[in-house]
Structures are given as structure tokens and as C-alpha cells.
Amino acid sequence: MTIGFIQDALFSAIAAIGFASISNPPRAIYGSCALTAAIGHSCRYLLMSDAWCGMHIIPASTIAAFLIGTLAVLLAPRIKCPAEACFSPALLPMIPGVYAYRTVKALLLCLFQHEEVAFNHYLYLLMSNGLTCMFIILGMVVGATIPMFLFKKISFQATR
């Protein structure tokens, strides 16, 4: 449990740094980006683990994303960077990649089926994975963006 928690934090930090580097951020941002990603992702891990809350992945992602957004807004004035540059890469490790992959796979399988029972099964897989994936992303993005609008004063004066 503890090892899983630490691993989760470490790997999400590496992922955040790598994905941040695609969008050419200022150097100062890497540290806080890794920190927010690690805290956010391990928070989701705790919320979802059965020993703690055993929460469903959609509300857990939303709460974790809200935490990431709030942290990013608070850290932004210290590193003198816009808040969105800090939390966008930090959110990426939470993208439900496996659900997205299963959706695409189910779609392909569904298209090439001729029998009704099998078709319905793959259609069910397509819809359940697709809906979960969509709502995780929606919850994540909305959760992370709300703090920026709640603390407009801080988030838009960060680069002053």
C-alpha cells in the first residue's frame, strides 16, 4: 500500500515533467509541475484504494483534479508563471488511457460482428468504457479549471 502510493507519486511526477516538455514551458515550472502531479495522482490513488474510501474513479479524478488546480493557482505567483501552464501537464497522468484504448478496441470488434448477441456485448463494452472515459476527462478538466476562476485575483496576477 505504502510502496504503491510512493510509486504512484514518483511515476506521475516523471510523466508530468515529460508531458510538460512537449509544450515548451519555462524552466521554473518543472519542479512545481512534478509536485502538483505527484500530490494529485497519489491523492486519487488513496481515494480509490479500498482501504481508504474505495471511491469510484470519476468523482475521485474530479476531486484530485480540483486539488491540482488549487495547488497550481497557489504555486503560480511563487514561480511567476500562469497557473494553467502549471496544472495542464500535471493533469495528463490522470488521463484514462486504458479506458480509451478499450473503447477503440470495442468499436473495432463491434464493427466486425455479425451475430446479435456478440454485437450487443461489444456495444455494451464500447458504451461503458467510452462513457467512463468521457466523464473522467470532463470531471478532471472542470475540476482543475474551477480554482482558476474562484481565485481570479491570484491566478491572473501571478506573472506580475
Residues forming contacts to other proteins in the complex (CB under 8 A) are 7-8, 10-12, 14-26, 29, 41, 80-82, 84-85, 87-89, 91-93, 95, 97-98, 100-102, 104-105, 107-109, 112, 137, 141-142, 144-146, 148-149, 156-160
Nearer to other proteins, 25 or 43 (CB): 25
Given a contact cutoff of 8 angstroms between Cβ atoms, the answer to whether 127 and 63 are in contact is no
* Cα distance between residue 94 and residue 131, in whole Å: 16
Per DSSP, helices labelled H in 24-151 are 29-48, 57-79, 83-91, 97-111, 116-150
Nearest to 93 by CA among 2, 5, 10: 10
Cβ closest to other proteins, residue 37 vs residue 74: 37
Kindly state the cell numbers that stand for 73: 493557482
CB of 117 to other proteins, least distance (A): 17
d(CA 34, CA 107): 35
Minimum distance from residue 43 beta carbon to other proteins (Å): 14
Separation of alpha carbons 80 and 63, rounded Å: 26
Smallest separation, CB 119 to other proteins (Å): 15
**By C-beta, is 74 or 145 nearer to other proteins?**
145
Supply the minimum distance, in Å, between the C-beta of residue 41 and other proteins.
7
Indicate the SS3 state at residue 42.
helix
Closest separation between CB of residue 120 and other proteins, Å?
A: 17
Which C-beta is closer to other proteins: that of 74 or that of 89? 89
Complex with other proteins: residue 55 or 95, whichever CB lies closer: 95
Separation of alpha carbons 41 and 35, rounded Å = 10
